[in-house]
Chains A and B, each alone.
Chain A
């Protein structure tokens, strides 16, 4: 060795000090001199570089080149850390040039990948994401090639300045190398996200999570939240199996968080509180899972008027039988989380809820119940006192679960009772909520309550139609449900008025459709009110006509609105044409002699 003996030891010592300064000391630097330690580290690295050049004569060229590359790398990172990007780039480029011929050998591969990672970061800071992408992708490719051709645990860059006896174990080497590669994937996930390559970004997030588990590089709570959030991405893609896998893994890993004492081990009340909140957050992801699975199944099963289509149902059931055998194959496509132990727990967790579309009430009910359990769990933390918005969102989900379950229920009376449950949970919060602070939620609740009453009224009408004739009790019920629906639609419409109680001339884009639907439904509701008093009936028809006319006039005035409510508009036009004749006939009956 060229710089043998104490000289080399001193060099190593300097290098080590520089690294400590850079990584540890720099975090304690004062705000006024944020880079003090980094600058000292830089000076030391420069010295090491000098010493190295002095020893140049008898040395092995290759060894020297690699050592120089290590220094160039450290200097490159140092300069980028201190916001001197151009200088940093030069150093990193020199590093990769020195390593280029040896990049596939065990003593260089890790350093080369890390240099590429840093070049990626550097270019991203210049908002040149495409350039960053090329560096990171080439780092990824190099890792894969190395693992295919060699695969032995490669040297960690820091080892080039270590005495022989300090060198790392193979296990430690492998750990560090894999970590560097995990970072590559993690940066790529960000790059793809920035480039709008959503699917690829998700895939890289998934792989990063998977590798964190494999190499034990994770905080359970953070990991669980990431996995739970990723499950929501899969939901939006209707990939229920993947979504469930993420959630099951999140729940399993989260349960570790409570057991393992945290590093500091001073569990304050705050930490406990945080932990409970995270648990509730994961529960909320599960709720969404159940809800989406049910809603998607409903979409598959419903006919053109939104009722369960029995033909479609048996068709799908037959199809499912066929697919059951294929299921095992599909399973393998999913990127599974965890090694055997964790994996077993995750699979056990998955057993508890299906990931295939429910096709009848029984199957739907099982998913509903799982969702409802998570509603309770989430509510334990997100109580209305202190977490108004979150609490109400959970109540809304609960209501939505009932709504979709009702779709699968054949018995109209029981279906009606499910909607009544929704009313019972929504009405009290809606009454208490102050719209000055919660305008949006307040509107959502009013609208949902109106819709629910509307739906219940329709069910009562359907039940009534099966009878020989409507009894007075049913009529009263229908009318009162219709009145309540009208009340909440009106409350919603009132919330659109300005402080002087004037309804807006032109509706904002975000409330256009709900406002029009509210008007349309009110018109229909007045048409459905049952009365034996013909004068009253005439009045109701008149009101109904006014609301239909509103829709028609509005769309004549603002043709842009038409696209939002095409079907409703068509029906309204029809009614505006029909109603006056009907009213005329009724009037004629009332006063036959005029």
Chain B
């Protein structure tokens, strides 16, 4: 026998279930007075630097039905490309930006709406710039392990073309599933990012 590696094993994931809102967005599901506000409901304040944008989308299952019980979290850099995290060693991020958003889909339509700012570019491991992107994590009833994906911006075609992650995806036709088109909705620059869990136009998910 050889020596044991002696490491612990990561706790296994389980589904968040249909009532994830009780723990993660209790005010949204009517449990008021326990926490003053739902965590991640607001990412910006009046002084946040950068271009105000809105990210809107839904999560679809394999028969094209929008999930009405998903929870979506996003994590992104500030307008200068710095993360508001103690692990960020390159500088200090905008103190008026949380970088973290968390929303349940609307219980009737399944739509989620993040009001945030457009992130700056952050470097890849080798120093090349990554195109601006938002990290996205999806949990729901029926999802056993949270799904990681990324949202890129439709109006950053040149940066997306050079992005070190996007550019090594073998099936080029799938890259479009990560790119959200920009439109103007009620005067707000809006990126529509629908997530397809399964089947035709299935969103790319990452094992990060």
A binds B: no
List A residues at the B interface (Cβ < 8 Å). none
List B residues at the A interface (Cβ < 8 Å). none
